Structure 1
Amino acid sequence: MRILVAPDKFAGTLTAVEAAEAIADGWRRTSPEAEVVPIPMADGGPGFVDVLHASLGGELLAGSVSGPLAEPVPATFLLVEDVAYIESAQACGLALMPLGPDGRTPEPGAVNRASTYGVGQLIGSAVQSGARRVVIGLGGSGTNDGGAGLLAALGATSEPAGALTRGPDGLAELTSVDLGPALERLAGVELVAASDVDNPLLGLRGASNVFGAQKGLVDEDARLAADAALSRLAEAVERKTAEAAGAGAAGGLGYALLVLGGRREPGFATVASAVGLSDLVTASDLVITGEGKLDWQSMNGKVPVGVAGVANAALRPCIALAGAVQVGNRELRANGIEAAYSLVDIVGEEQAFAQPAQSLAAVAARVAKTWGRAR
């Protein structure tokens, strides 16, 4: 029996690579005769580069870039022949933002001065290293600058000078932008924004109003001010693209990539294509997916439902292991997942968080008693 293990990360406890290995190890305890193939997955957010490196190989190139508040942060990109894969969260991720008084959520207002400059630096480094196609995973961002910092890092200039690099606070003063130097630098390079977010840049469904609260724009006035700042950017660069699907991804990073001539691809589909998921599923008897919390958001284009969709197309059963399962069986089956198993329910919350890899392996070993035989 051939088992394909294709989970996302278990946020806060395990990377997708670690989760895939834990499930595979547990399964082998019960079914040592099974061929278990771990293929970690991602949808463009944190873990994007590690997941692709685990499947594609290639060269990881490390360096230091400017973080969201201009502090140096380590970052890597993956180079596979002339294709580079970049994880924007490494340079502007929510995890890099200072925490507020509660110790859990970002410091209120810090996002107003946060920049995506480091993402532009990574793109520039990838091009300098020979990449002719650059795929940027969008997700988990702590910024809301419309990708203005990225534009500046690639050579775009503004009036007043420096307005592109100071987050929404800087954009509030913006009067003009010249993209010419950035476009010249990227001539002949294909940009791909890998994101499942289809929100526009502005308005009620835009970056500030939909995602701003989780980044520290805690009240309506703050979100309206941030949206107005992004509107000034759009007026100075190109208004029409602000309405495009995905322009609001990662605090507007999608917008910057689109105005530079890039195109948007669903993040899950990008990874699935790169690792050859469809062929791997077809060659398997059972598919296992999972993530930290299987909830209503998972049913909206996240990795588990994406994997289940590929499995269903190939007429292969798909099950899920998760830290917690917060949707019912009817909804799971409607989305192609035949059964889901919760670590919290099986081993208890304390153990699930204290020993996540061991707990996940134990649950996989238990589930293999039911599913580890020909069906």
Structure 2
Amino acid sequence: MAVLEGSTQVEVTPPWSHSAAAAQPSPVCAATLLGMRVLLCPDKFAGTLDAPAVAAAVAQGWREVAPADDLVVRPLADGGPGFVAVLADALGGRRLPVPTVDPLGRPVAGEILVTDDGTAYLESAQACGLHLLTAAERDPKATTSYGLGALVTAAVEAGARTVVVGLGGSATNDGGAGLLTALGATPLDAAGTALPYGGAALGAVAALDGAPRLRDAVLVAATDVDNPLLGLHGASNVYGPQKGADRADVLLLDAALERWAAVLERDLPGCPPGLGALPGGGAAGGLGAAILALGGRCESGIDLVTRAIGLEAALDSCDLVVTGEGSFDHQSLRGKVVAGVAGAARDRGVPCVVLAGRVGTGRREAAAAGVTDAYSLVEHFGGEEHGGLEAAMGRPAEGLRALGARLARQWSR
């Protein structure tokens, strides 16, 4: 693998093998004898550590082995939990607390970030997040995105001209019906009665009453996926089971969203045609589609964050990239953090290593995306058959420190 080190092109042997031989240091150029420059830019490990904590654990392990190396820490978010915190560190601005409700209507604390250029940033997970519910409470037929409407309303009231909504980690599958209700556009049944909350109720939607109160603010969906709203790759089929839906629920929810999309196209001025098939519409249980219907646009969450934190410049000057997330699987390569980072590293000829709680992506598929190698906490702790999953969930920082040290032994000279 060719890597550019200043003006000299050298060959780096990626540590594909997990054998004892792979534990030996990889050949690197003489410049690294003075210390490598390593970029640490992970996403969160959902359910265990946020992105800054992941980066800190890996950095600690690396420094124990190679303290002379230059570690550049740039935690990332793709629109899901942690989106506001990462951007606040990079952009400054005002972080305003906003009381809202969770997917079942219970009070919960949220916040928005308002920057000097009149842009507000918020994340749907603060009001719609799966982490706000117990396993027994997960039911996308009943959960609502209404709480996100309180966050958007607060951003509009704060004078924001552009409202960027980070999408990801949601417990809802209501196509943004709750969001629109909170903004003043209520879904009705054939009798003219307001529908109850939840994705299942949209099977009876017949009309939309009222107009969204946005004061001409432009909405931007910072999406972590490019799935459409409907169909085999849509919100219900792909993400519904994660939120508690069985197969019958998935079919019901997909049909309900199809009906909802038709009503939005007919009754909401400015809604684009073919809403159900637009890329990104399936993000966060269809919140992407709601933002598109409101005249907004979808933008890659990882691209937005990388611009804000100056990741491009950091990539240009590093010798190795280490990124990661909780589960590295086929969904990781559909616009999430790992895909964006690995692709950017590949374009520069820089090796990229992924650390994850669990690895479910094939080597060939990962390599095509720019991933040099991937390491799993579950496997580090002995595999699922020996309690590796429980250890990965219960002691992630310990495992990441160990993997950071392992990478330093392999890559640093």
Give the TM-score normalised by the residue count of structure 2: 0.80
* Number of the residue aligned with 1:178: 209
* Number of the residue aligned with 2:53: 18
> 2:79 matched to 1:44?
yes
Q: Give the 3-state SS of the residue equivalent to 1:61 in structure 2.
A: strand
> 2:396 matched to 1:356?
yes
Q: Give the 3-state SS of the residue equivalent to 2:45 in structure 1.
A: coil
| 1:6/1:40 contact within 8 Å kept | yes
> Across the two proteins, how many residue pairs are aligned to each other?
362
* Number of the residue aligned with 2:260: 233
1:163 and 1:232, CA in 2 relative to 1: closer, same or farther beyond 3 A?
farther
Q: Give the 3-state SS of the residue equivalent to 1:113 in structure 2.
A: coil
Q: CA offset at residue 233 of structure 1?
A: 2.2
**For 1:213 and 1:352, how far apart are their aligned partners in 2?**
23
Taking the TM superposition and a 5 Å limit, the aligned residue runs for 1:1-375 are 1-81=36-116, 82-100=118-136, 106-107=137-138, 110-159=139-188, 163=194, 166-180=197-211, 182=212, 185-220=213-248, 222-238=249-265, 240=273, 241-348=275-382, 349=388, 351-373=391-413
The letter of the residue matching 2:64 is R
Q: CA offset at residue 6 of structure 1?
A: 0.5
Q: Give the 3-state SS of the residue equivalent to 1:238 in structure 2.
A: helix
Gap runs ≥5 in structure 1 = 101-105
The letter of the residue matching 1:93 is G
| 1:148/1:165 contact within 8 Å kept | no
Q: Give the 3-state SS of the residue equivalent to 1:76 in structure 2.
A: strand
**For 1:164 and 1:16, how far apart are their aligned partners in 2?**
38
1:329 and 1:60, CA in 2 relative to 1: closer, same or farther beyond 3 A?
same
Compare CA radii of gyration and give the structure with the larger one.
Answer: 2
1:248 and 1:301, CA in 2 relative to 1: closer, same or farther beyond 3 A?
closer
The letter of the residue matching 1:176 is A
The letter of the residue matching 1:372 is S
Question: How big is the alpha-carbon RMSD for the aligned residues of Structure 1 and Structure 2?
Answer: 2.3
Q: CA offset at residue 94 of structure 1?
A: 1.7
Q: CA offset at residue 155 of structure 1?
A: 1.5
Q: CA offset at residue 165 of structure 1?
A: 5.4
Q: Give the 3-state SS of the residue equivalent to 1:135 in structure 2.
A: strand
**For 2:263 and 2:70, how far apart are their aligned partners in 1?**
56
Q: Give the 3-state SS of the residue equivalent to 2:140 in structure 1.
A: helix
Gap runs ≥5 in structure 2 = 1-35, 267-272, 383-387
Q: CA offset at residue 125 of structure 1?
A: 0.5
Q: CA offset at residue 98 of structure 1?
A: 4.3
| 2:235/2:285 contact within 8 Å kept | yes
| 2:208/2:264 contact within 8 Å kept | yes
Q: CA offset at residue 162 of structure 1?
A: 6.7
Which stretch of the first structure deviates more once superposed, 276-285 or 235-244?
235-244
| 1:163/1:173 contact within 8 Å kept | no
| 2:47/2:131 contact within 8 Å kept | no
1:123 and 1:354, CA in 2 relative to 1: closer, same or farther beyond 3 A?
same
Structure 1 runs, 4 residues or longer, greater than 6 Å off: none
1:62 and 1:162, CA in 2 relative to 1: closer, same or farther beyond 3 A?
farther
Which stretch of the first structure deviates more once superposed, 66-75 or 319-328?
319-328
Q: Give the 3-state SS of the residue equivalent to 1:297 in structure 2.
A: helix
**For 1:245 and 1:334, how far apart are their aligned partners in 2?**
22
1:235 and 1:20, CA in 2 relative to 1: closer, same or farther beyond 3 A?
same
**For 2:196 and 2:120, how far apart are their aligned partners in 1?**
24
| 1:61/1:77 contact within 8 Å kept | yes
**For 1:351 and 1:68, how far apart are their aligned partners in 2?**
30
Q: Give the 3-state SS of the residue equivalent to 1:139 in structure 2.
A: coil
Q: CA offset at residue 218 of structure 1?
A: 1.0
Q: Give the 3-state SS of the residue equivalent to 1:298 in structure 2.
A: helix
**For 1:287 and 1:263, how far apart are their aligned partners in 2?**
30
**For 1:94 and 1:153, how far apart are their aligned partners in 2?**
20
| 2:230/2:276 contact within 8 Å kept | yes
Identity %: 51
| 1:17/1:54 contact within 8 Å kept | no
Give the TM-score normalised by the residue count of structure 1: 0.88
Q: Give the 3-state SS of the residue equivalent to 2:374 in structure 1.
A: strand
